[in-house]
């Protein structure tokens, strides 16, 4: 049984790759070929779909917009979540447990509920159609998640580490930045990964809060369905390109995730 | 966790988080509450209606059906994704280059924007030009997810399993790799069976990450909107109209702000209540 164990992940990965293969292969086909009949791989291999995306500013601008607000959100979420998670894992203070649960409840608010009020709120403060608006809005669900993940990692670090550092004459912030943060580097990697992921894939709020200047790529894609008929080839090429930034980020955090909660051993 | 020190300075540490989240949560939530008790005929004129909308939503057949479909969907995908995710994590290699390859490939579906996931599965499952639809029909199965409710449900569940099982795998794997080798060595010396190792070493060590995985999967599947909207649009008929699709239809399609706001709050409270139940049940042992 041990010898056949590799089959399980392999079959699972094949299952994962099938729809992705279909998308990628479609992106190299002309729309006529897609609609004309069924072909397992492109008969006439074409880069035309990608050429359109890389030369049309409304297309490639969407990628730049998405990346800007996602990076802003990830940095912001992790930066404010770090001290908060430390407080939750080390201190007892008035209402700490209720506060923690309240934070989590925001992770449970369906974006469909908030779409309209968000539009009104961000219009009122003059941030509508900016990258900051989307980055701030995504904090709603990313900060609670980051706090939760980081708190888990920090609770795995023994308190003796803090106490030893104070005895050695470290001030709080010097200890926090020079000793504590490197100790939980894996946790920061995992938290940043999840923030990036949920901000990158979320569309309902991002679409509601933008119209032209900060429009995300995924919203640009819905345009192809309406204005120029149903250009499946172009849609597939744009979809394929949305997979790439994610793949790059996973590559960077893969060792953090693999090492995972190994800190518990300390 | 009794080693925590009493320190009110903790509030200073959490203040930025509280401010940012409150800005995004409290103000919009109050807007929704405001709408939910008023009637408007346009022109920014509002009339106080009390709990009329809440009664209307709670008694409507349409809401009950959407809620029923939502519970069924969440139940099915939790029953499939959690055991499957744990099984895959257990079977994954522990060391070497294959770990990275597996993790990177498995995480791919998680990082695809949700409407792309819907569009991708749409063209993958189309009976005439999609790989899956074509394969099934060639095998003699009459499959068309745009016409048959059962086919639509099967496609929806398959899409969600495809999309999210990896999250459970990643979290379970992180929990597993935190188990020191010494535990396994001790188990080997004692001659423990694979099941005993799983039941007494791996499962307890994965408890915390599995709590996170189950809660996340529950919440996200309960709030799912974009993927089913792009894949089936709630159809055929109303067969795949889940709660948030119904909500958006009500709020933006018919512009019934009052009932939509009331439904939003009821919806939010349901997610809150079930999450709280899960959370208390699963962390109960830790407190003692």
Residues B180-214 have pLDDT tens digits of 888 888 888 888 888 888 888 888 878 878 887 88
Task: Name the least confident of A80-84, A220-224, B136-140, B267-271.
Answer: A220-224
Query: For A19, which residue in chain B has the nearest alpha carbon?
Result: B124
Name chain A contacts of B279, Cβ cutoff 8 Å: 101, 104
Residue A9: is its pLDDT beyond 50? yes
CB neighbour list of residue B152: distance below 8 Å, 6 or more residues apart: B145, B146, B232, B235, B236, B239, B240
Superfamily for domain range A57-228+242-265: MetI-like (1.10.3720.10)
Best mutation target among B15, B22, B70, B91 (most A Cβ atoms within 10 Å) is B91
Tell me: the pLDDT tens digits for B98-114?
888 888 888 888 888 88
Q: Could you tell me what percent of chain B has a pLDDT over 70?
A: 92
> Does the domain at residues B61-251+272-287 carry the CATH identifier 2.60.40.2550?
no
Torsion of CA B131, B86, A105, B31, to 10 degrees: 0
Judged against a pLDDT cut of 60, whether residue B1 lies above it is answered with no
- Answer whether A143 sits within 8 Å of B17, measured CB to CB: yes
**CA A75 → CA A78, A193, B242, distances in Å?**
6, 11, 34
Q: Which of A92, A118, A261 sits opposite B4 (nearest CB)?
A: A92
Q: Is the dihedral of CA B167, B172, B173, B174 positive or negative?
A: positive
Distance from CA of A215 to the nearest CA of B (A): 14
Count of alpha carbons within 13 angstroms of residue A107, beta-carbon side: 26
Asked if the interface predicted TM-score (ipTM) of this complex is over 0.90, the answer is no
Residues of A in contact with B276 (CB under 8 A): 101
Q: Which residue has the higher pLDDT, B158 or B243?
A: B158
B88–chain A Cβ distance below 8 A for any pair: yes
| Residue B14 forms contact with A (CB below 8 Å) | yes
State the angle between helix axes of B149-176 and A7-27 in degrees (0 to 180), rounded to the nearest 10. Answer: 120
Which residue from B113, B21, B59 is spatially nearest to A102, judged by alpha carbons? B21
pLDDT of residue B74: 93
Band of residue A259 on the pLDDT scale cut at 50, 70, 90: low
Domain ranges of chain B: 61-251+272-287
**Separation in Å, CA of B177 to nearest CA in chain A:** 6
Cis? peptide before B236, omega within 30° of 0:
yes
A46 has pLDDT over 70: yes
Contact: A221, B23; criterion CB under 8 Å: no
* The total number of residues written for chain A in this structure: 266
Q: Do B4 and A116 touch (CB under 8 A)?
A: no
pLDDT in tens, B140-156: 777 788 788 888 899 99
The answer to whether B145 faces chain A, any CB pair under 8 Å, is: no
Q: Report the DSSP pairing between strands B46-48 and B38-40.
A: antiparallel
Q: How many CA atoms lie within 13 A of A75 on its CB side?
A: 7
Q: Helix/strand/coil (H, E, C) string of chain B? A: CCCCEECCCHHHHHHHHHHHHHHHHHHHHHHHHHHHCEEECCCCCEEECCCHHHHHHHHCHHHHHHHHHHHHHHHHHHHHHHHHHHHHHHHCCCCCHHHHHHHHHHHHHHHCCHHHHHHHHHHHHCCCCCHHHHHHHHCCCCCCCCCCHHHHHHHHHHHHHHHHHHHHHHHHHHHHCCCCHHHHHHHHHCCCCHHHHHHHHHHHHHHHHHHHHHHHHHHHHHCCCHHHHHHCCCCCCCCCCCHHHHHHHHHHHCCCHHHHHHHHHHHHHHHHHHHHHHHHHHHHHHHC
Checking if the pLDDT of B270 tops 70, the result is: yes
Q: What is the mean pLDDT of residues B52-60?
A: 79
| Range of lowest pLDDT (A110-124, A185-199, A217-231, B106-120) | A217-231
Tally A–B CB contacts below 8 A.
279
B252: distance to nearest CA of chain A, Å?
Answer: 9
- The pTM for the full model equals 0.83
Mark yes or no for CB contact B28/A197 under 8 Å: no
Contacts B226 to A, Cβ<8 Å? 203-204
Do A83 and B14 lie within an 8 Å CB cutoff? yes
């Amino acid at each position: 049984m041990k010898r056949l164990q590799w089959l399980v992940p392999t079959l699972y990965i094949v299952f994962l790759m099938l729809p992705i293969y279909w998308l990628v292969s479609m992106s190299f086909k002309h729309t006529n070929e897609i609609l004309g009949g069924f072909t397992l791989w492109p008969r006439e291999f074409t880069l035309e779909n990608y050429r359109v995306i890389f030369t049309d500013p409304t297309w490639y601008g969407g990628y730049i917009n998405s990346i800007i607000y996602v990076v802003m959100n990830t940095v912001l979420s992790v930066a404010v979540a770090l001290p908060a998670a430390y407080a939750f894992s080390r201190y007892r203070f008035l209402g700490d447990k209720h506060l923690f649960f309240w934070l989590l409840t925001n992770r449970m608010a369906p974006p469909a509920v908030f779409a309209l009020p968000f539009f009104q709120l961000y219009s009122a403060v003059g941030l509508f159609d900016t990258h900051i608006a989307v980055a701030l809005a995504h904090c709603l669900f990313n900060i609670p998640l980051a706090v939760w993940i980081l708190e888990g990692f920090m609770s795995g670090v023994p308190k003796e580490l803090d106490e030893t550092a104070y005895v050695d004459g470290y001030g709080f912030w010097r200890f926090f930045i020079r000793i504590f943060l490197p100790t939980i580097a894996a946790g920061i990697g995992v938290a940043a990964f999840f923030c990036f992921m949920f901000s990158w894939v979320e569309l309902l709020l991002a679409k509601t809060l933008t119209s032209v200047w900060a429009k995300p790529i995924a919203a640009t894609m819905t345009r192809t369905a309406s204005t120029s008929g149903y250009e499946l080839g172009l849609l597939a090429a744009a979809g394929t390109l949305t997979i790439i930034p994610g793949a790059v980020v996973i590559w960077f955090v893969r060792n953090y995730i693999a090492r995972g909660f190994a800190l518990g051993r300390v | 966790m009794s080693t925590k020190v009493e320190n009110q300075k903790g509030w200073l540490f959490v203040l930025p988080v509280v401010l940012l989240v409150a800005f995004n949560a409290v103000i919009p939530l109050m807007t929704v509450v405001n709408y939910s008790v008023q009637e408007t005929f346009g022109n920014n004129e509002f009339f106080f209606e009390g709990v009329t909308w809440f009664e209307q939503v709670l008694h409507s057949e349409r809401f009950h059906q959407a809620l029923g479909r939502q519970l069924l969907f969440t139940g099915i995908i939790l029953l499939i994704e959690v055991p499957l995710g744990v099984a895959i994590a257990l079977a994954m290699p522990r060391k070497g280059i294959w770990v990275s390859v597996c993790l990177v490939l498995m995480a791919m579906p998680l990082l695809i924007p949700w409407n792309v996931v819907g569009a991708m599965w749409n063209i993958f499952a189309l009976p005439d030009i999609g790989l899956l639809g074509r394969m099934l029909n060639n095998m003699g199965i009459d499959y068309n997810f745009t016409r048959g409710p059962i086919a639509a449900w099967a496609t929806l569940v398959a899409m969600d399993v495809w999309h999210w099982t990896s999250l459970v795998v990643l979290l379970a794997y992180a929990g597993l790799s935190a188990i020191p080798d010494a535990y396994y060595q001790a188990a080997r010396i004692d001659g423990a069976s694979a099941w005993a190792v799983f039941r007494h070493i791996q499962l307890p060590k994965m408890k915390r990450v599995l709590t996170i995985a189950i809660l996340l999967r529950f919440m996200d599947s309960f709030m799912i909107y974009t993927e089913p909207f792009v894949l089936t649009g709630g159809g055929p008929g109303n067969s795949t109209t889940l709660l948030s699709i119904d909500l958006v239809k009500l709020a933006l399609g018919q512009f019934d702000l009052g009932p939509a706001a009331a439904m939003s709050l009821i919806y939010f409270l349901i997610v809150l209540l079930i999450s709280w139940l899960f959370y208390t049940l699963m962390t109960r042992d830790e407190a003692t």
